[in-house]
Structures are given as structure tokens and as C-alpha cells.
Amino acid sequence: MKFQKICVIGLGYIGLPTASTFAAYGVNVLGVDTNQYIIDTLNKGEIHIHEPGLHDEVKKAIQSGNFKAVTKPEEADAFIIAVPTPFQENKFGEYNGVPYKLADMRAVTSAAESIIPFLRKGNLVVLESTSPPRTTVDLVAPILARSGLEAGRDFHLVYSPERVLPGQIMRELIENARVIGGVTPESAQMGRDLYATFVKGQIIKTDATTAEMVKLMENTYRDVNIAIANEFSRLADKFGVDVWEAISIANLHPRVKILNPGPGVGGHCISVDPWFFVEAAPELTPLIYHSRQVNDAQPHFVVDTVKRALGSLTGKKIAVLGLAYKPDVDDLRESPANEIVHLLQHKGAQVKAWEPFKPNAKLAGIHMSPTLEDAITDADALLLLVKHTEFTKFNPSEIAQKTKARILIDTVNGWDDKAWKASGFDVHLLGVGK
Ligand code: SAJ
């Protein structure tokens, strides 16, 4: 089947790269978003998010006439839903007295509802949003059935998760393997035909619920692996061991691959998705639940490490380097650094934060320095929270001239401690017991 026109609903970190890539491959794409500011920005050939290569692709797509952004769907051959599935802000589930977070499916629900008037026989509908198991069959299919058409009989319905890494989305969208889970084998085949437009990686067909589980399993596996690395960092600290050295030696074993400890797990994927399993089956997920707890508690371990390095936090001036949720991105959402700053301030420290990828960001209760110098000049200690490439290239002797601080706390193993010690710094590395 040839797809002449598709509608992509949700123009964020996933929907926009997907829409502009389809447009680049000659498909007529209608991008839909409820946010008028986003629509106006895109139709001017500008973008509202930062992702390498995306701005050029969107500009080209708009100029070619293949891409237009609007606030309401229209009739099309295929509809792709790529809206966010965050947590509910004020509501929690509970199992045996233990609270867990709940997915907020309102955006998926209203995106599916917005398709109903335009759905025709033979259409394809794709859900890309990361969702709890069975969302495609138990939530989306019944909503679309209100059109009078049945999924798998009158139109095709698939779940196909995005699996791209922020910072490399444009390349990974094309090169990564793609999972297509259909409510019927025919639906999966139709989904395969759509993504074969640009996907060069392997395309694997399966059923919709398997595809949902695959997506959640990938991110949950990573979260659990990071949780064990974080727990190892606490054990190494206690036993006078360097966790980074220990992990690198353990990883020489051909069947061991432990990830890195750090200040905690942030972003909108790894720290969110495991909860979808917990919510769906709390009685079956003690390991997943506790791994989330371990990673969420890691900012407290960082603050404890800082406190031990400084003796006391009261009145101490701390320069925090990096607020993004991970290296070399400008995304500050769900960042453990944010929580660490608040915890430090709560314990009496005075914090200035320097985030080179977003120096002008406004974050409630956080002093964002306009320059590196502003953050470090008067500081008592430097606290490295993100391994941005530019931080790793710092020259210790130059930094020593710019700051009166002589204490460093490195939570990401971003600096060569010998070089910093040679420039007069007392270096404390997370997960290294004295
Ligand atoms: N982190 C560690 N230690 C590590 C690796 C990461 O503490 O060894 C932290 C990072 O600093 C960050 C968090 O984990 O705070 C998440 O970063 P990440 O790079 O692991 O992942 P994301 O959230 O940017 O993207 C993930 C990717 N999933 C996998 O690698 C399995 C990506 O492919 C998915 O598309 C994305 O989630 C998503 O949208 O689900």
C-alpha cells in the first residue's frame, strides 16, 4: 500500500522528527498539535525543541510543501499518535501500603478521540507513545470503535514504540530496528509498509501487546541495571573501594555489562516507564519497584557525599556544574540535578548552578548563573553533576585561577582526579570510599 498522506498527532521530541522524516521521504504530512505556539513556530520553519539536525529537516519539509502544521486532524491514509504519557501529578496507586506512580493517559485518549470523525475503512492507526501494557487493545481500540469501525476488521491498528536516543534521534529513527505490533497480522504488515518508507534497520512484526512490553522492558532493564550500579557505589563507598575501577574490572567478564552509577536517573523515559509495569501489576514487580526507589534516592547519597567532603553544608557556597538530565543535551526535565540543588539548599548551602546548554533557563528556587565564572568565583566547592563534554575538557590549572574553591565533588567520573589534585584540589569521587 502506498501512503499518500499521513497525520502525525503530537509534535514533540518524537512526533516532530517522525513527521519531518516522512516528509523528507516524499509523504504528504499533516502535523497536528493542540499548542498554537508550536504550530505557528513550525509553519515559520522554526522549531520549539533542541535536537541536532531537526531544524534543517523541518525547514526543508516546510519549504518542500510536504509538511504543514495544524491544530486538528484531517482525513488521511494513516494516523500516528505520538503524544506524551507523563505521570498523574496528584494521584498515586497503592499496593500493600506501598505507593506507586500512575500513568496519565489523557493525551493518548484525546488524540485517539480526535481521529474518530476522520477514520475511514482501510486506514492505519499507529500508537507510538510509551504506554502501559494492553493500552492499544484495551484503551485505543475501544475509543476508535466509536467511529462505527472495528480495529483489525475495518481499519488497521498497531503499536510501534519509538526507541531513539535524545541527541541522536534523526539518525536512530532511520537506522534502529523497529518493532511493529499489530492487533492482527494484516495490521502489522500495513504498519511495516508505512515505516519501510524510511527505516533502514530491521523491521520486526509482532502483536500489539508484545510490542508494548518490549518497549517497557528495554527501559526497565536499563533502570534496574543503573540501580544496581548505584547500589554498588554505596557499597564501594562503605568498604573503601573505587566503584568505577571495580565496575570496569567486572565488565571485563564477557557476560557482565554493569552501567554507570551517577547522581540519579532522569529524563522522560527510563525514570518513568518502569512505573507502567508497576501500575499494571504491582504484585508482580517488587524488583522493578525497588530499583526505582534506589535510583530516586540517589540524590540523597550525592548530598551525603557532599556533606562529608565539606564537613557541614550550613552557609557553604557550592557551584553546581550541569543541570541537564544527561550529558550534552539541553533537556532539564526530570533531572536529578534539580533535586540535588534543592536538597543542598534545604540543608543550608548556597548554590549557584551553571548549565551551558541552557544558561537562561528559569527554574523555580534555583540561582542559574549567566556564566561559569559567576558560578565558581566565590564557591567553597565545585560539584560536577553532568558529564557534558565541555566540562570534561576543563583545564584544572585554569579553573584553579578562576575559583577560590579547592574541594571538588565529581558524581559522574568526568575528571581525571590526578590532574585536579596536582592543581591543588581535594577531589571526592562518588562511590569511592576513603
Ligand atoms: N544514566 C546513568 N547511568 C548510565 C546511563 C544513564 O545514571 O550508565 C542516567 C542518565 O544520566 C540519565 C538517565 O540515566 O539521567 C537516562 O539516560 P539514558 O541515556 O539511559 O536514556 P534516555 O532516557 O535519554 O533514552 C532512553 C533510551 N533507552 C535505552 O537506551 C534502553 C532510548 O533508546 C529510548 O528511546 C528512550 O529512553 C525513550 O524514549 O524511551
Task: Judge whether 210 lies within some domain.
Answer: no
CATH number at residue 390: 3.40.50.720
Q: Mark whether 35 and 120 lie in a shared domain.
A: yes
Q: Residue 2 above 90 pLDDT?
A: no
350 and 239 in one domain? Answer: yes
Q: Are residues 182 and 235 in the same domain?
A: no
Boundary (domain end) residue, out of 201, 220, 240: 201
Using one digit for the tens of pLDDT, what is the confidence trace for 179-216? 999 999 999 999 999 999 999 999 999 999 999 999 99
Distance CA 400, CA 197 (A): 54
Q: Which of 68, 215, 326, 352 is catalytic?
A: 215
Long-range Cβ pairs for the range 193-199 (8 Å, 24+) = 193/1, 193/3, 194/3, 194/6, 194/78, 194/124, 194/126, 195/160, 197/3, 197/22, 197/25, 197/27, 198/21, 198/22, 198/24, 198/25, 198/173, 198/174, 199/173, 199/174
* Residue 84 in domain: yes
Pair (64, 141) in one structural domain: yes
Residue 219 in any domain: the answer is no
On whether both 187 and 245 belong to a single domain, the answer is no
Q: Are residues 256 and 115 in the same domain?
A: no
Same domain, 348 and 274: yes
Could you confirm whether 269 is annotated as catalytic?
A: yes
Q: Are residues 149 and 289 in the same domain?
A: no
Residue nearest to atom 4 of ligand 1 (CA): 260
Interval between CA 179 and ligand 1 midpoint (Å): 19
Question: Tens of pLDDT along 69-125?
Answer: 999 999 999 999 999 999 898 899 998 888 888 999 999 999 999 999 999 999 999
Side-chain-side CA neighbours of 326 within 13 Å: the count stands at 12
Known catalytic residue at 215: yes
CA–CA dist 316, 120 (Å, integer): 64
Q: Are 234 and 197 in a shared domain?
A: no
Confidence (pLDDT) at 89: 85
Question: Beta partners for 381?
Answer: 318, 407
Structural domain includes residue 19: yes
Residue 57 lies in a domain: yes
Query: Which amino acid residue places its CA nearest to atom 39 of ligand 1?
Result: 269
Segments forming the whole domain that contains residue 83: 5-201
* The ligand 1 atom nearest the CA atom of 226: 3
Specify if 9 maps to a domain.
yes
Q: Is 19 helix (H, G, I), strand (E, B) or coil?
A: helix
Q: Do residues 234 and 175 share a domain?
A: no
Using CB atoms within 10 Å of the CB of residue 345, give its burial: 0 to 12 exposed, 13 to 18 middle, 19+ buried: middle
In a domain, 406, yes or no: yes
The pLDDT score that the predictor gives to residue 177 is 97
> Distance between CA atoms of 74 and 66, rounded to whole angstroms?
15
| Residue bearing the CA closest to ligand 1, atom 18 | 270
For residue 348, give the C-alpha cell: 543550608
CA pair distance 388, 328, nearest whole angstrom: 5
Domain co-membership, 176 together with 236: no
Counting the structural domains of the chain, the total is 2
Decide: helix, strand or coil at residue 390.
Answer: helix
> Does 183 lie in the same domain as 241?
no
Distance 222 CA to ligand 1 centre (A): 7
Instruction: At 366, list the grid cell.
Output: 534555583
The reported pLDDT for the residue numbered 50 is 85
- The pLDDT tens digits of the residues spanning 38-53 come to 999 999 999 998 899 9
In-domain check, residue 76: yes
